[in-house]
Amino acid sequence: MGKRTRQAESVTERVPQLAAPYVQAVAEALERHGEQPGALLPVLHAIQDALGFVPEGAVAPIAEALNLTRADVHGVVSFYHEFRRTPPARHSLRLCRAEACQAMGARALERHACERLGIHDDTHRSADGTIDFEPVYCLGNCALAPAGLVDGELRGRLTPKALDTVIDAMRADCRNIA
C-alpha cells in the first residue's frame, strides 16, 4: 500500500464525515508539507489550492497530524481572510479599492457591480449564488486603474459597461452548465 493511500485512510479514520473528494486533498497536503517546520500554513494553502476552500472537517485531521489543537488550526483559518471556509462560487470578481483605483472611480464601479449582482449587505456572493465578489487592495495595475480580477485574470480600465459584459458572460456560463 502506497504512502499516499495510507495517509488518505488515516485521514478518513480520523474524520469519517469528511466528504470523499476532500479526503484525498487533505491527505496529499499533509503528505507534501506535514513534515516541514511551520507546516500549518503550507498545508492550509495546499488544501485551498486543491479545493478552493478549507473544509470544516479538515481541521481535526490537520490538528492531529501536526500535533496542534483544533483551536490552533481554527484560529489560523479564521485569521487569514485568504482562507475560504465555504466552497467558492463558480465565478469570481474582485475590484481594487486602493488609492489609485479610487481616484479613477473604483467606488462608483463597485456600487454598480453590487447593484448588478444583487448584493446589498456584507455578503460577498451574488444573489443568484453564481459569482463571488470581493474587494482587493492594489493589484499592481495602478497605471490601468480602475483594476480588477475576473476569475483571477487581471483587467484594467474597467468601466460599468465592461463589468456588465463580464457579469453577463459569467451568468450565461452558469446557465449553460445548469
Q: Which residues bind ligand FES (CB under 6 A)?
A: 96, 98-101, 138-139, 141-142, 145, 147
> Does 96 appear as a known binding residue?
yes
Closest to ligand FES by CB, 59 vs 98, is 98
**Identity of the residue, 100 or 162, whose beta carbon is nearer to ligand FES in the bound complex:** 100
Closer to ligand FES by Cβ: residue 8 or 147 = 147
| Distance in Å, CB of 150 to ligand FES, minimum | 14
Given a contact cutoff of 8 angstroms between Cβ atoms, the answer to whether 100 and 59 are in contact is: no
Nearest distance in Å: CB 92, ligand FES: 17
DSSP assignment of 72-135 equals HHHHHHHH-TTS-SSPPPSEEEEEE-SHHHHHTTHHHHHHHHHHHHT--SS--B-TTSSEEEEE
d(CA 172, CA 178): 10
Q: Which is nearer to ligand FES, 8 or 145 (CB)?
A: 145
Question: Mapping DSSP to helix (H, G, I), strand (E, B) and coil, where does residue 1 land?
Answer: coil
Alpha carbons 6 and 42: distance in angstroms, whole number? 21
Q: At closest approach, how far in Å is the CB of 126 from ligand FES?
A: 22
CB 103 to ligand FES: min, Å: 8
Does 101 show up as a binding residue in the annotation? yes
CA-wise closest residue to 31 among 54, 6, 57: 6
Known binding positions: 96, 101, 138, 142
